[in-house]
Amino acid sequence: MRTLVTGGAGFLGSHLCDRLLADGHDVIALDNLFTGSKRNVAHLLDRPRFEFIRHDVVEPILLEVDWVFNLACPASPVHYQYNPVKTVKTSVVGALNMLGLAKRVKARILQASTSEVYGDPQVHPQTEDYWGHVNPIGPRSCYDEGKRVAETLMMDYHRQNKVDTRIVRIFNTYGPRMAVGDGRVISNFIVQALRGEKLTVYGDGKQTRSFCFVDDLIEGLVSLMQYEGADAHEPVNIGSSDERSMNDVVECLGEIIGQKLDVEHRSLPEDDPLRRQPNTGRAKERLGWQPRTSLLDGLRKTTDYFRGAVSVEGAACGDVK
Ligand code: NAD
Ligand code: UDP
Ligand code: UDP
């Protein structure tokens, strides 16, 4: 099997490359290194079955592969709002190019979509048949609507050109190899705690997310790609059902660090969703998938990683590299 992972030098992409190589695939990681880093795949560069290509998915590319995982797209609000027009292009033109490639070489293709397609949801927990509550003109729209169009393209190439497609709606995922300056809440909190800084809680901290550990997420992606059911092209939520407020996360982290952590409140970003929890019934039923790592265990592993990373990287939390 020859497998292309776009966004392969990113947080999730690099873990996926590790997993596919372990499963015996030849892996091509394609990345423009906007938010990703060669450091994430440095341990793979000598492997004969691994190849890194510096390329932007907005530009067409000719490759011969059996599987495509299309993960290229900045995922942290700080990064995807840095150049919102580019974010839309990456999601839309990137998906179009990868679908064109999949059509040409008859490859199976998985699109990394997101819980953001549900926006600030009015249905809770979110099931895949919920159409969402998304602001089309706000600061998060470049990401949310870009991913919604990517899903539309996947479905249209499936119906029109019989491309073998998969859509995964990923809910907040964290773990080792998130960048120190990524800007998402778990990495920000851990880095701040390790530096002895106050944790920046946006708003009153009562908003919720359901945090999935990266190993569980990768297992879900691979399971969906392997799934052969007649309904395989339908979107599947992958994420944790353990819904927590940001205040809860601060407490869990305090337990791991071994001291009460001070917080500093900042204003809540515009259009920040109030609640988010996946209904993962479809993943469980079709893929036999469910998350296994508790928040406490996952945070422990992630904190261990950041102890090393914080001393290497100098970037401030939330800064754009
Ligand atoms: P990340 O920022 O670490 O990884 C994204 C990777 O894509 C980076 O390596 C970046 O350099 C690369 N990239 C960005 N634009 C590109 C372009 N135009 N051409 C080529 N490469 C490009 O983020 P991540 O958390 O690993 O996210 C991976 C995918 O999963 C993204 O598509 C994201 O939308 C999706 N996702 C992630 C989460 C999460 O919680 N981690 C949640 C929902 C969806
Ligand atoms: N594409 C690509 N690699 C390929 C095949 C296609 O990057 O191996 C791009 C192609 O340049 C086009 C897009 O994918 O911009 C969609 O391709 P498709 O063949 O579906 O559409 P068309 O080229 O007919 O517009
Ligand atoms: N958040 C926070 N402090 C931070 C970064 C984020 O309180 O330093 C909040 C943010 O407002 C949101 C939640 O944490 O309510 C998750 O944010 P993240 O950017 O990780 O993911 P997303 O909003 O895309 O789900």
Tens digit of pLDDT per residue, the chain (321 long)?
Answer: 999 999 999 999 999 999 999 999 999 999 999 999 999 999 999 999 999 999 999 999 999 999 999 999 999 999 999 999 999 999 999 999 999 999 999 999 999 999 999 999 999 999 999 999 999 999 999 999 999 999 999 999 999 999 999 999 999 999 999 999 999 999 999 999 999 999 999 999 999 999 999 999 999 999 999 999 999 999 999 999 999 999 999 999 999 999 999 999 999 999 999 999 999 999 999 999 999 999 999 999 999 999 998 876 555 555 433
pLDDT of residue 312: 62
Q: Measured from the CB, is residue 101 less than 6 Å from ligand 2?
A: yes
pTM of the model: 0.97
Q: How far, in Å, from the CA of 184 to the mean position of ligand 3?
A: 6
Closest atom of ligand 3 to 192 CA is: 8
Q: Measured from the CB, is residue 95 less than 6 Å from ligand 1?
A: no
Residues 146/92, Cβ–Cβ less than 8 Å: yes
CA angle 226, 230, 235 (to 5 degrees): 70
pLDDT of residue 310: 86
pLDDT of residue 319: 45
pLDDT of residue 321: 35
Cα–Cα separations (whole angstroms), residue 59 to 67, 85, 115, 232 = 19, 15, 26, 28
Q: Measured from the CB, is residue 78 less than 6 Å from ligand 1?
A: no
Residues 302/176, Cβ–Cβ less than 8 Å: yes
pLDDT of residue 83: 98
Least Cα distance to 51 among 108, 10, 4, 88 occurs for 4
DSSP 3-state of 274: coil
11's enclosing H/E stretch is: helix 11-22
Closest atom of ligand 1 to 184 CA is: 40
CB atoms within 10 A of CB 311: 10
d(Cα 258, Cα 215) in Å, to the nearest integer? 25
Domains of the chain, each with CATH number or no CATH: 2-177+212-240+275-292 (3.40.50.720)
Q: How far, in Å, from the CA of 53 to the mean position of ligand 2?
A: 19
Cα–Cα separations (whole angstroms), residue 265 to 203, 214, 247, 260, 273 = 6, 28, 11, 16, 17
Q: Measured from the CB, is residue 103 less than 6 Å from ligand 2?
A: yes
Closest atom of ligand 1 to 33 CA is: 11
Strand pairing report for 199-202 and 173-174: unpaired
Which residues are paired to 168 by β-bridges? 112, 236
pLDDT of residue 213: 98
Nearest CA to ligand 1 atom 2: 74
Ligand with minimal distance to 271 CA: 3
pLDDT of residue 18: 98
Q: How far, in Å, from the CA of 118 to the mean position of ligand 2?
A: 29
Q: How far, in Å, from the CA of 192 to the mean position of ligand 3?
A: 14
Q: Measured from the CB, is residue 271 less than 6 Å from ligand 3?
A: no
Pocket test for ligand 2, best of 61, 63, 104, 153 (most atoms within 8 A of CB): 104
DSSP assigned state of 291: -
Q: Measured from the CB, is residue 11 less than 6 Å from ligand 1?
A: yes
Closest atom of ligand 1 to 177 CA is: 3
30's enclosing H/E stretch is: strand 26-31
Residues 225/110, Cβ–Cβ less than 8 Å: yes
Nearest CA to ligand 2 atom 5: 101
pLDDT of residue 311: 75
Q: If you write DSSP's letter for every residue of 38-79 in order, what string do you get?
A: GGGGGGGTT-TTEEEEE--TTS------SEEEE--S--SHHH
Which residues participate in catalysis according to the annotation? 143
